[in-house]
Amino acid sequence: MATAPRPAEAAAKRTRTRVGLRSLPIKLGTPPMEAKLVEDLPEEEGWQFEPKWDGFRCLAYRAGPEVELQSKSGKSLARYFPDVVDALRVLPLDRFVLDGELAILSGEALSFDALQNRLHPAESRVRKLAAETPAMFILFDCLATEMDGSLLQTPLVRRRTALERFFSSLGDQPGLRLTPYTRDAATARGWLEKARGSLDGVVAKRVNGPYVPGEREMRKVKLLRTADCVVGGFRYATDSDLVGSLLLGLHDEAGLLHHVGFTSAIKDEDRKALTKKLEKLIAPPGFTGDAPGAPSRWSTERSVAWQPLKPKLVVEVKYDQVTGNRFRHGTRLLRWRPDKKPAQCGFDQLQREAPPAKLVTEVIGR
């Protein structure tokens, strides 16, 4: 027959529970508040504008010696960023939940490639990269502290005050940064114009708005660029005989055509005629350099199937970021360019990670 725990044992158990991550007022797995993509920043009063950093969104939890880094999708990032975990674990304040962005400075610019390199299965490799290119955690919201408890229902203006108070109490912490803000839309637009690719855009938050996990309560304007690309192939839409996406290519200095991304922003009323046009141009190899369709553990037979085309067609697309000589996300089809020769479509058009503008330097180089 089991005996009841002694009072001292029960007290010790309560203490262990209280200091654990699950005792925090914000539950593990809580999704971050998100932003809706818009064409321009709000003009009316009542908005706070912040830089949109080109990194990994992250919620950081700490309760005593326990630290967790949670990605936007809810997965743990702690094993990939031991340097940030260590930086948070030694802070004088030991109970908090913060929202921010993981970023890595490579040379004079923030490098998304360096972040992706951290997602490696070998712990020894991760530790080596952490020592060579340490990450930083850029703070932009405060969800909970020991002093304030949960701040989810608290207006942004008070959460920002709590964040600044938290940050000022830390002293010199090279691995942590505090994002700047402005409540002047013209200043925020100036950030977009002067960032030269070192920012991902600008985020707008309601000054009196609460923190709403998982909802698109914020607004974001992204830095978008354009490029003229060769249509080197296409994929049919799922369970359809009509085109689903165009496969885009750019030439290197040797004249090889490399696959760099895709666009699926094709109007439904145009798909039938476009499919007939494309099918007349089907001919290998399509791409003479890097080609699409390499199988992976996530791909299916259908997803890797594509039709190569003669390099005759050129489109202008809008894109946001370039990583590893590829468009990081799907692109937006702007127009066809019959006036442009396919041979003129080269990598020299692309705007990659740029040296940081003054705003960025003030944050990452302090």
* Catalytic residue annotation: 52
Q: How far apart are CA 206 and CA 41, in angstroms?
A: 12
CA atoms lying within 13 Å on the CB side of residue 148: 23
Q: How far apart are CA 319 and CA 316, in angstroms?
A: 10
Terminal CA-CA length for the chain: 62
Strands (E), 200-331: 201-206, 216-222, 225-236, 243-251, 257-263, 307-308, 314-319, 322-323, 326-327
Q: How far apart are CA 312 and CA 283, in angstroms?
A: 11
Q: How far apart are CA 240 and CA 73, in angstroms?
A: 31
Query: Quick check: 36 and 220 in contact, CB under 8 A?
Result: yes
Angle between helical axes of 82-89 and 123-132 (0-180°, round to 10): 70
Query: Quick check: 26 and 38 in contact, CB under 8 A?
Result: no
Query: Quick check: 54 and 60 in contact, CB under 8 A?
Result: no
Alpha helix (H) residue ranges in the chain: 7-19, 82-89, 112-118, 123-132, 156-168, 185-194, 271-279, 301-304, 358-364
List, in sequence order, every residue forming a beta bridge with 249; answer none if it has no partner: 230, 259
